[in-house]
Amino acid sequence: MPIRLPGGGNRISVDNDRCELYGICAMEAPDVFDLGQDGRLRFRKRLLDDSTIEQAKMAARVCPMQAVVLRGEEFDG
């Protein structure tokens, strides 16, 4: 069942207890994730267009630690 958030929209978060910073997400979804030279992961929290939504889904699917969490009408967790 889709989770409806106040204000709507599709959101992304990363479970820091799981994430080990492999950066596979940055390879799959370069418009959403970035693994910096400092080894830190930065990402957009809101997904606005279809392209970034598809990228984010693929990043979530291939994340080795299954640490990418997607919430919103486009997804079913």
Partner 1 sequence: MADGDRIVIVGAGVGGLRAAERLRELNFDGEIVLIGDEARRPYHRPMLSKALVMGAVRPNDTSLSSYIPDMDVHWRLGTRVSHVDTVERVVHLPGGETLWYDGLIAATGVYPRHMPGAPRHDPRVRIMRTVEDSMAVRRCLHASKKPAVVIGAGLIGNEFAASMRHIGRDVTLVGHAKAPLHRFGDRVSSGIVHEHHEHRAKLSMQSEVRHWISTKDTVGLHLTNNQLLVASVVVLAIGSVPSVEWLRGTPLDVTDGVLCDSKLFAEGASDMVVVGDIARWPNLRFDETPRRIEHWINAVESARHAAENLLVGHSSAKPFTPLPRAWSTLYDTRLQMAGMPGIAEDTVTLADGITGFIRDGQLVGVSSWDKPRAMLDWMAELNRRLPAPDYVPEPEPVVAEAPAPEPVGVSSEVPVEFDSGFDQQAFDREFESQFANDIPTTAFRAQSPPTTAIPAGSLPAASLPTMAIPMGR
Using the rule CB under 8 A, is 3 a contact of partner 1? no
Which is closer to partner 1, CB of 6 or CB of 38?
38
Measure the CA dihedral 12/13/14/16, to 10°.
180
Q: What are φ and ψ of residue 35, in 5° steps?
A: -100, 110
Using the rule CB under 8 A, is 39 a contact of partner 1? yes
Using the rule CB under 8 A, is 44 a contact of partner 1? no
- Which CA distances in Å does 44 have to 1, 63, 74? 24, 16, 16
Using the rule CB under 8 A, is 51 a contact of partner 1? no
Using the rule CB under 8 A, is 24 a contact of partner 1? yes
Which is closer to partner 1, CB of 9 or CB of 24?
24
